[in-house]
Amino acid sequence: MAGRSQRRWHMSERYLAWLAHLAERDAQLTGLALICVTGVVMYYAFALWPAQLRPRAQQVSLAAAVVIYVACIVLVVGQMVGADRLAG
């Protein structure tokens, strides 16, 4: 299969720069997707099965989860400020 590595030998520096750009984009999108998947799992964990936890424990764990979640978003998105547009 003609993959990224097999082609390097006959391609120019431009190709390597493109691969680096794709890798950076991949890393950014993967970070964002992780945030979203975590958020969705949290939502269903708390919305669909609330009876699993006692009300007080549920409130505390929900508040902790939201704080961690928002911190993650601030961390990941903050690193992207000033970055080039995502998709190319």
Q: Which residues bind other proteins (CB under 8 A)?
A: 1-4, 7, 10-12, 14-15, 17-19, 21-23, 25-30, 32-33, 35-37, 39-41, 43-44, 48, 73, 76-77, 80-82, 85-88
| Rounded CA separation 18/14 (Å) | 6
Nearer to other proteins, 56 or 88 (CB): 88
CB of 84 to other proteins, least distance (A): 9
Nearer to other proteins, 30 or 55 (CB): 30
Nearer to other proteins, 32 or 65 (CB): 32
List of residues 6+ apart from 72 with CB closer than 8 A: 35, 38
The torsion angles phi and psi of 3, rounded to 5 degrees, stand at: -95, -170
| Rounded CA separation 80/74 (Å) | 10
